[in-house]
Amino acid sequence: MHPMSEPYEIAPELPKPRLPGEVVVREEVADLIDAITADLLVQAKACVRSFGDFHLALSGGSTPEPLYRRLMYDPRMRGFPWKKTHLWQVDERCVHEDDDLRNWTMIAGLLLEHSDIPPEQAHPMPVLEADGDERYEQELREALEWREKGHDRLDYVLLGMGTDLHTASLFPGSMALDARAGRLVVFNDGPGVVPPKRMTLTFEMLNASRFLGVMVTGEGKREAVARLARGGLDTASAPVRGVQPVGGVLRWYLDGGACPAGG
């Protein structure tokens, strides 16, 4: 057969670091975003079909910004069920609403303003309220409680990872790592926490999720990924190790830059 008649080239498999869960590697961030958006669409449609809605929790940080942008302009995402989507936060900085440090400003600016998510399905963390953690917990419970037992959980959670191996606002040695059983959302402050004070979903809430994606890109994260792949770390020093879904999928999304040589 003439080589020109091949419909597409099969890209060689990139070496995958040994991380807990499934690992997706794409050399370029744009291709990695293709993989994430495809997963998101499949999950969203399946959940809407089964439960009538889709509960999505998003992280802040700089890594997911191009992904959020893409969700809005990629023609393949036109069928995304935004009207049936609830948008939650993984974590937030306890700063005033106008502060640029607010994750919600970025998430709302990129997604809410350009999709048709009904306003009552947008759930910013009430970080300035003294009992904001309990209120958010209550909001989550109420939004999910009508689902059948076992399905009352977040459907897709997008996490990032810091070079210190924190995820969400669960920092090494910080108090939120030891949140009491039954707590789904807590404030995190004091030793270990990179200021300002944060609000964060707990491991209990994260690990109950149906699907946890961890997006890590760029050479700046390569050493951290290598440390994690070498193993032998505990949750206290490497909180991302505490991400262990009970009955859900854990899928890492890495670009070539974040991948240590030799996998």
Q: Kindly indicate which of the ranges 26-34, 56-64, 125-133, 137-145 contains the residues binding ligand 6PG, using the contact rule CB under 6 A.
A: 56-64
Under rule CB under 6 A, residue 59 binds ligand 6PG: yes
Cα–Cα distance for residue pair 53/49, rounded to 1 Å: 8
The yes or no reply on residue 255 touching ligand 6PG (CB under 6 A) is no
Point out which span in 58-66, 129-137, 226-234, 242-250 binds ligand 6PG (CB under 6 A): 58-66
Among the listed residues 33, 56, 90, 177, the single contact to ligand 6PG using CB under 6 A: 90
- Interface with ligand 6PG includes 188 (CB under 6 A)? no
Candidates 43, 85, 121, 167: give the one binding ligand 6PG (CB under 6 A): 167
Binding-site member from 55, 56, 60, 256 for ligand 6PG (CB under 6 A): 60
Query: Judged by CB under 6 A, does residue 109 bind ligand 6PG?
Result: no
Q: Pick from 50, 62, 138, 237: which binds ligand 6PG (CB under 6 A)?
A: 62
| Single residue of 17, 29, 63, 243 touching ligand 6PG by CB under 6 A | 63
Interface residue list for ligand 6PG (CB under 6 A) = 59-63, 90-91, 103, 160-162, 166-168
